[in-house]
Amino acid sequence: MTTTLQRALATEPALRHSAQTLADTLRHASPAHIIETALKTVGRERLALVSSFGTESAALLKVMADVDPAIPVIFLDTGWLFEETLAYRDTLTSVLGLRDVRSVKPLQEALSHQDPDNELWFSDPDACCRIRKVEPLARALKPFSGWVNGRKRFQGGARAEIPVVEEDGEKLKFNPFAHVAREEIEAIYKLAKLPAHPLVASGYLSVGCMPCSSRTSPDEDARAGRWRDRAKTECGIHTTKTS
């Protein structure tokens, strides 16, 4: 059934107002309540969760599964992922009983035309992320009116002041872990006995694509190993508006 709020989301000013209203209302809400509200706001068939199945992903996926394990989970299989990440995706899917994990790959035509030698990550990492992450995600999100992700303010940088809900092009973007502390993430793992990403034990505190991920020393920020020695700090899926 279409709600008044869902009809209101049809225009950009109304969408922006709805995002701000939800952000204010939910600013202290629990991650589970934010996801429940997202379901009610955009409709059961119009919400997806985007996960990298990275080092902290299991916590959000656990909360989502407790709310509704059938929410579609979009996973960007870039072609450059660690085998351990692919295995971790399968492990968490089984452990958490996720019912609809969708692995989305870049278009072969785009790879053949723009990255025939698989060296774009080195010469132009922004372009590499665009064809391997940004475009595939935009394509995968087309059927949805809202999406959930796992960014946290404690990760710093551009993430330090993210709201729990924001307008993202023509969609609502829910950040249920925005105000969650690292200790709370660890508590979810411990309480639910969630398996850790296999690469954590060898020093990877944040894991993305193989060429652009490196181990992190104890005195560094967790995301310091991403695009090391480059000014780049985001792949682009959180800085490009979806439509």
Give yes or no for residue 4 having a pLDDT over 60: no
Mean pLDDT of 160-169: 89
Torsion 116-122-125-129 (CA) sign? positive
Res. 2 pLDDT band, cuts 50 70 90: very low
- The tens digit of pLDDT for each residue in 44-54 reads 899 999 999 99
Q: Looking at the 3D structure of the chain, how many domains does it have?
A: 1
Catalytic residue ranges: 235
Distance between CA atoms of residues 72 and 47, nearest Å: 7
On whether residue 234 sits in a domain, the answer given is no
pTM assigned to the model = 0.89
Mean pLDDT of 122-126: 93
pLDDT at 12: 57
Mean pLDDT of 152-167: 84
On whether residue 167 sits in a domain, the answer given is yes
On whether residue 235 sits in a domain, the answer given is no
Query: Which residue range(s) make up the domain with 208?
Result: 4-109+116-225
State the average pLDDT for the chain. Answer: 90
Radius of gyration of the chain (CA): 18
On whether residue 29 sits in a domain, the answer given is yes
Place of tokens 């698989």: 118
On whether residue 243 sits in a domain, the answer given is no
On whether residue 240 sits in a domain, the answer given is no
CATH code of the domain covering residue 148 = 3.40.50.620
Give yes or no for residue 169 having a pLDDT over 50: yes
Distance between CA atoms of residues 180 and 83, nearest Å: 29
The residue that leads in pLDDT, 97 or 7, is 97
Mean pLDDT of 5-30: 76
